[in-house]
Amino acid sequence: MSLEGMAALVTGGSRGIGRAVCLELARQGAAVAVNYAGSIQAAEETVRQCRQLGVEAELFQADVASPAACDALVAAVKERFGRLDILVNNAGISRDGLLMTAKEEDFSKTLDTNLKGAYFCTKAAAKVMLRQKYGRIVSLSSVVGLRGNPGQTAYAASKAGILGLTKAAAKELAGRDITVNAVAPGYIATDMTAALPEKAREAMLTTIPKGRPGTPEEVARAVAFFAQRESAYVTGQVLCVDGGMAV
Ligand code: NAP
């Protein structure tokens, strides 16, 4: 299978899972638009590594929590590559805290980035994809969005919201060869999970039948499956990449 001739936009492509997705899509031949919020050096490194794989890659700064920024981002990618075949809604944050003590501003910031960001980008990308009569949209949800997790009400709500967005958009866009799917990782070794207290990480490990955290590359391969032209008949689905955590 190959993604040659395709153009992909990956939000939050500077680090972690997003960088691994950029590199996997590049390895399969796609031109890659690497979005980031603030980490320009890390994003430049992703671009450099994509280009080393022999594909076109470009840097695009944008805060996905802003609808205007998402519109401008998609327009800039379309301008640069002439098309947009694959959107990966990966950008995400976690602002954890117990229900009774967490601040409303952290809830809003989490929803704005994780859920509304995916909504804004999906909407902007769908306009291009509807005209093309082709598109593959993949969003990063989480096992926490399926199962919940104490101390993560905002994050869980945002990731459960991704599932609803995915299923509804899948039904709306299916007629134009646009698929919309989600990948739900469990515990993946990235900056996001490195920021958790060691006790929380140890507790999470005990819930994983595989007995280890996943790698960003393992998540990227699931994203790349949905991104294939040949995956045309798979839409509205959620694939857990979690070492058995959610079983
Ligand atoms: P990470 O290492 O913390 O990286 C987050 C990425 O999102 C960075 O590239 C960051 O850009 C970008 N980002 C954050 N806010 C943004 C904004 N407002 N606009 C644009 N980009 C923004 O996270 P990760 O662990 O790779 O997670 C990636 C995705 O997978 C997230 O949606 C996360 O919720 C999901 N996920 C992760 C795990 C896990 O165990 N790691 C599990 C389930 C789901 P900058 O570098 O510029 O800040």
CATH number at residue 150: 3.40.50.720
What is the largest distance, in Å, between two alpha-carbon atoms of the chain?
51
Measured between alpha carbons, how far is 122 from 71 in angstroms, rounded to an integer?
10
> Which ligand 1 atom minimizes the distance to the CA of 16?
26
Number of domains in the chain: 1
215: nearest Cα among 188, 186, 233:
188
Let me know if residue 2 belongs to a domain. no
Let me know if residue 1 belongs to a domain. no
pLDDT at 1: 77
Let me know if residue 214 belongs to a domain. yes
pTM across the whole model: 0.99
For 171-192, the pLDDT digits (tens) are 999 999 999 999 999 999 999 9
Let me know if residue 245 belongs to a domain. no
Let me know if residue 246 belongs to a domain. no
Q: Is the pLDDT assigned to residue 145 strictly greater than 80?
A: yes
Let me know if residue 67 belongs to a domain. yes
pLDDT at 200: 87
For 209-240, the pLDDT digits (tens) are 999 999 999 999 999 999 999 999 999 999 99
Let me know if residue 109 belongs to a domain. yes
Range of the domain at 81: 7-240
Mean pLDDT, residues 101-115 taken together: 98
| Active-site position among 36, 119, 134, 155 | 155
Active site residue 119: no
225: nearest Cα among 235, 214, 210, 213:
235
User: pLDDT band at 142, cuts 50/70/90?
Assistant: very high
pLDDT at 72: 98
176 Cα: distance to centroid of ligand 1 (angstroms): 29
Let me know if residue 104 belongs to a domain. yes
* Probe target for ligand 1 pocket from 44, 60, 89, 93, with the most ligand atoms within 8 Å of CB: 93
Mean pLDDT, residues 101-116 taken together: 98
